[in-house]
Amino acid sequence: MKKRSFFERLAGNLRFDDNEEDVQTEETKNPILLKEEQKTNTGLPVKEVEEVGELPVDAYETQNEIIIQALIAGVLPDNLSIAITRETVSIKGRREENKTISPEQYSIKELYWGSFARSVDLPAEVDIDSAEAIERHGMLMIKLPKTDRGRKTMLKIKSI
């Protein structure tokens, strides 16, 4: 079964493709991120590997800028990072679970907790120095001004 997107884990939904079997394993029945413990040939445990969810995004462009939107409700600003180059935007973060509630207290547990990431290839070159990120009501909006490739300027010649 393919890796589920961040939104599918967040909402607790399952995706079934036509060419895949409709089989649910324990991992797909429970949307909680499971950590797997790997073992070496000697049988000693190796570092735990945590799966990283894929953050769903909307990306669109206007005449002057590219806008990327993502739902990040429940993510603290300290647990979110955005890296921008002229061609890509990478968003990484972590949604921390409330550790004061024991597993036995839950009657339903479908929300996704843990790390997520997403890289977006941009359709045009952007000015990274003028980019801005705004969070409002759990919606992250990244505004990336496009560079004006057709812009011309006339240089004045200085005489020394």
Residue 106 one-letter amino acid: Y
Tokens 């089989």 sit at which residue? 23
Q: Which residues contact 90 (CB under 8 A, 6 or more apart)?
A: 82, 83, 84, 117, 118, 119, 120
Q: How far apart are CA 99 and CA 66, in angstroms?
A: 38
Segments making up each domain of the chain, as ranges: 6-145
Quickly name the fold that domain 6-145 has: Immunoglobulin-like (2.60.40)
Q: What is the pLDDT of residues 107-125, one digit of tens each?
A: 998 887 889 999 999 999 9
Residue with tokens 């409002």: 136
Quick: pLDDT tens for 41-78: 566 666 666 788 889 999 999 999 999 999 998 898 88
